[in-house]
Chains A and B, each alone.
Chain A
């Protein structure tokens, strides 16, 4: 059986499973369907949250970025888990107590203002569309490899599939489908990692293998990796970063962005009790951590495997001949995501860090520039092939990658369409719209969102996980501060909140667009995106944290200059702080 058939089998079987569960849950009883979120145990809810949360960015892209950046890209690991601590303590229990269903609902009520609600909708849409661009980038990579087509074609196919997946809609709301998606996703991620960890370190658990000895050389794996990359002119894998400020801000931006993303927050609205909202955050983090503790192991082992494929006799010896390249290189060449150019015409593949510092050594070895360009987003998907694992493992990872990309992309499209049709059109512009009209508006907005995301996904402003990180920065600068001040301060009023959200959003967007292109349109950037041009060395990916500080500062300043919020709003703030009995306390 060819690899293509096996991939098809695994992807087909996993989709049959999701649809089957959706059908079974729906057929069981209509009531169950509606209370799915309400009646589900916090452990299962945590699992569903984890599936919702772990997207193409976590599954497909993140380990590739860590492999390339080493220690410096640990920011993704800390940033995308640490946010749950904030969520559990600062938002989830209180928003659950508030008891409405969407983020704009809370902001609109707490800041007693239609403008605040509209600004919140705008922030939500901008963050979600940016997020979808990242998902489409990842889905495009997965589809192009899996269907063995060019990357752009893969992206188009992904767009069509995501659109239909999202229109089918109902599926998404069913917690049990997401539980199944989580199981597929985590198995698909873990099994190849276990195999590779056994090959390289004789250790069964990848997270422990990362800190164990490399069997072949007998030295610690990370030391071996440092040694190999150093020979090729790269920075040590474990090397410390020079710009700690940027690293701190980037991590902070991802953390507060996590706590400000509407599709994550919404899961905590549906648990039965306030106490369950707290437990659910913990369980979600446990299930996310299963992947996040494995990811750094996948990253370092894949980097080592990749380099030993190119330099079978070690980095100081001759590299392999292009004619003898392994099948996975050929497969990925058809997608256009691996490119080879024989710059010194010696018929061999030379992969190294093409910098002035390494030039003398490269020239001495007869090299004339780096010859192999490997897109970082392919590393996780190519990992089992690089390690020569059995073909069923490769099929499994294709199924997992597609599950991750599709479920999150579809969920975000639903969030965008409901924000437009429910919060924007029905809630403000035309309250008398018919149900049919609302549904039509939802479909149209979904369609527009996917067209925009696909167009921008063809020339994305970064790798999948980086684009998603931008979405987090936007959420961090706009939504999180408004929610937090709404709960922890009685003094912040509608004018303050609106001014704060706008200041945070606009400052962050402008900073991002200056370096990555206005509205992400390729070729429109005002400055080259290099550390020399960045303000105080702060990268556009990290600016969300600064945007959040601006948001808080402006909101407090404007509020202190203007009137106090009305008494009933202060009572509302009081009431969300207590799981129960607060209502009685206010009545005294």
Chain B
């Protein structure tokens, strides 16, 4: 296997790891904090209701924005590192 091919494989593995990490955060914010774990977080009060309600109506959206920008920034760095940028 040539170096270039190996390089490309490492790049793809790094991308998959990054995606997996981001998806874990994505799921924790929305399905976790906002829905499934809401009863566990009910002790934390925020503006007349609990943290789970805030995550469901606002928090998860803010997390999504941070995630997409974080992914774009990391991937563009990765493109450079592996010399795969356009």
Q: Which residues of A contact B (CB under 8 A)?
A: 71, 74, 77-78, 81-82, 84-85, 88-90, 93, 207, 210-213, 219-224, 238, 240, 244, 247-248, 251-252, 255, 273-275, 278-279, 281-282, 285-286, 289, 292-293, 296, 574, 577-582, 584-585, 588
Q: How far is the CA of A293 from the CA of B62 in the complex (A)?
A: 9
Nearest Cβ distance between residue A485 and chain B, in whole angstroms?
15
Give the chain B neighbours of A89 by CB distance below 8 A. Answer: 19, 22-23, 68, 71
**CB neighbours of B69 from chain A (8 A):** 282
Chain B residues 1-28 with CB under 8 Å of chain A are: 2, 4-5, 7-8, 11-12, 15, 19, 22-23, 26
How far, in angstroms, from A82 to B64 measured CA to CA in the complex? 6
Q: State the Cβ distance, A49 to closest chain B Cβ, in Å.
A: 12
Chain A to chain B: the 5 pairs with minimum beta-carbon distance, closest first: A220-B48, A211-B47, A74-B56, A278-B72, A282-B68
Contact A289 to B4, CB < 8 A, known contacts A78-B56, A84-B68, A274-B86: no
List 4 other contacts, CB 8 Å, given A224-B48, A286-B65.
Answer: A71-B57, A74-B56, A82-B60, A289-B65
Mask for B50-69, Cβ within 8 A of A = 1, else 0? Answer: 10111011101110110111
Identify which of residues 25-47 in chain B touch chain A, using a CB-to-CB cut-off of 8 Å: 26, 30-31, 34-36, 38-39, 46-47
Give the complex CA separation of A357 and B21 in angstroms: 46
Say whether, besides A222-B48, A580-B84, A278 and B76 are in contact (CB < 8 Å).
yes
Please pick, from B11, B26, B56, the residue contacting A578 in the complex, using a CB distance under 8 A.
Answer: B11
Do the beta carbons of A220 and B49 come within 8 Å of each other?
yes
Chain A residue numbers with a CB within 8 Å of B83 are 581
Chain B minimum-CB-distance residue to A89 = B19
CA–CA, A278 to B73, complex, Å? 9
User: With A78-B60, A281-B68, A582-B84 known to touch, is A220 a contact of B34 (CB < 8 Å)?
Assistant: no
Closest chain-B Cβ to A288's Cβ sits at a distance in Å of 9
Chain B: interface residue total (CB-CB under 8 A):
47
One of A71, A77, A84, A582 near B8 (C-beta < 8 A): A582
Whether the pair B72, A211 counts as a contact (CB closer than 8 A) is no
Known: A220-B47, A247-B35, A584-B4. A279 touches B72 (CB 8 A): yes
